[in-house]
Amino acid sequence: MDWGLKNRISNIIKPNTGRTVMLAVDHGYFQGPTTGLREPRKTIQPLLPYADALMLTRGILRTSIDADADIPVVLRVSGGTSILKELSNEGVTTSMEEAIRLNASAVALSIFVGGEYERRTLLNLSKLVDAGERYGIPVLAVTAVGKDMARDARYLGLACRIAAELGAHIVKTYFCEGFEKVAEGCPVPLVMAGGKKIPEKEALQLTYNAIHSGAVGVDMGRNIFQSEAPVSMIKAVRSIVHENTTVNEAYELFNSLKNEEVQQKVPASKQAASV
């Protein structure tokens, strides 16, 4: 692997633990102003110190992240569809030249294995890897799962393996029963997507299960920014990923930090009234 490519991957997957906590805030590229992300700057800024990398589009990067922020960027470069139409019909929306201009540490693209436009998205991935290899920019492939697909180890194992075979340097997929089989069959680092918001303890359990079944980390969005205490939640996720804490220890950490964080969000006038 070329030095530049290796160096960029090590910006994302931290060499001291071999793991990563990526914060995914790219949801708006097909679903618009997502709950918890309506004002991206407000949501993202307090979380930045605790994320190892940020996954987002160029629009949110330019408008909501200061250029002097100390955070590796995984730039979402696939899209062109919305929740109103067939989602698998994605193209590449951002050039490699633009990714370099934005100092991206990696680019990210979704593949839709089994989807209506499966072939198109797989060829998009291959071409993106060719361009990435040319400039030393790693490609993260996201295994998007259509409504009709079962999120089981057989399907996710197929999608992850195809992504790796086509040259993806990192693969992002969902957790499932038998995840270790998915990880075994994927010869590149695997990160877990969080999925829909679930109670914090369950999301921490998912994180623990993924890490202990072969994932190198998480690329989590809604289970962090839709939490009532997002900073406490990302700290708890980090403790599992980087410090090997148990689910109970991480949940205790979340609870011990949560009240203070929630309290800080209450306007001063209300705080005074409740005393």
Q: Which residues bind ligand R5P (CB under 6 A)?
A: 24, 26-27, 55, 110, 142, 144, 193-195, 219-223
Q: Which is nearer to ligand R5P, 116 or 260 (CB)?
A: 116
Q: How far apart are CA 274 and CA 109, in angstroms?
A: 48
Question: Is 192:19 a contact under the CB 8 Å cutoff?
Answer: no
Cα(229)–Cα(257) distance, integer angstroms: 8
Placement of tokens 């075994």 in the chain: 184
Q: Name which of 2 and 116 has its Cβ closer to ligand R5P.
A: 116
The closest of 88, 28, 31, 81 to 58, measured between CA atoms, is 28
Selecting among 6, 127, 172, 258, the annotated active-site residue is 172
Structure tokens at 218: 């998480």
Minimum separation from the CB atom of position 3 to ligand R5P (A): 28
**Which CB sits closer to ligand R5P, 76 or 161?**
76
Q: Which is nearer to ligand R5P, 137 or 140 (CB)?
A: 140
| Shortest distance in whole angstroms from residue 194 CB to ligand R5P | 3
CB of 274 to ligand R5P, least distance (A): 32
Nearest approach, Cβ of residue 57 and ligand R5P (Å): 10
Tokens for 73, please give them: 């960027």
Residue in 76, 123, 68 with CA at minimum distance from that of residue 99: 76
Whether 172 is catalytic is: yes
SS3 139: strand
Catalytic residue annotation? 172
